[in-house]
Amino acid sequence: MLAIGITGPIAAGKSTIDDMLRGLGAGPIIDADAVVHELYQTSRPLQEAVAAAFGSQVRRPDGTIDRRALGARVFGDPQALRRLESLVHPATREAVRARLQEAPPAAIALASLCTERWWIAADPSVQRRRLIELRGLSPAEADRRLAVQPRLEDWRHLIDRVIDNSGTLAETRRQVTAAWHQLVTSD
């Protein structure tokens, strides 16, 4: 089974790459970010663990996690972010692993459980603009989130391919198409 892990920092364009791969016939897409969001809505054990670690103000009245409140709590505090990751990553890996078991060949997964890992990169100014314009964050919120993002230098030893999504969609599409065709013809 070919499973490509798509990773990289916030607002680099991972979802855009997912869409491009879907258009090339890859699938199904297992988006770890979406899995986390789903777990925040459905996993009582994770909801309780997050609330125990960060306070009841990160929960909505129905018990689900308020991602905006949680983000405000962890993105200015590297230690809090590491604590959150220690709660979320194991649950996410388990959920992604279960979905990969059900997926047919050529599954694309945003996870570390993959045969090839792609890092989606974008210039920090592009990421900042996307966070402000597309996600509605204030400049200060965007800067706080960008300050704690993973860096390619720290992950380079785990990455098989870098896709630069700083330019036009056409430029990015050319990179993704070439990489996809190289993988499926060498398999």
Name the pTM for this structure.
0.75
Identity of the residue numbered 19: D
pLDDT tens, 18-72?
Answer: 999 989 988 777 777 888 999 999 999 999 999 999 999 999 999 999 998 999 8
pLDDT tens, 145-162?
Answer: 998 888 888 888 889 999
Asked whether the beta carbons of 33 and 22 are under 8 A apart, the reply is no
* CB-CB neighbours of 25 under 10 Å: 9
CA-to-CA distance for 126 and 131, rounded, in angstroms? 9
Asked whether the beta carbons of 110 and 7 are under 8 A apart, the reply is yes
Helix (H, G, I), strand (E, B) or coil at 12: coil
Task: Return the residue matching tokens 């059900």.
Answer: 102
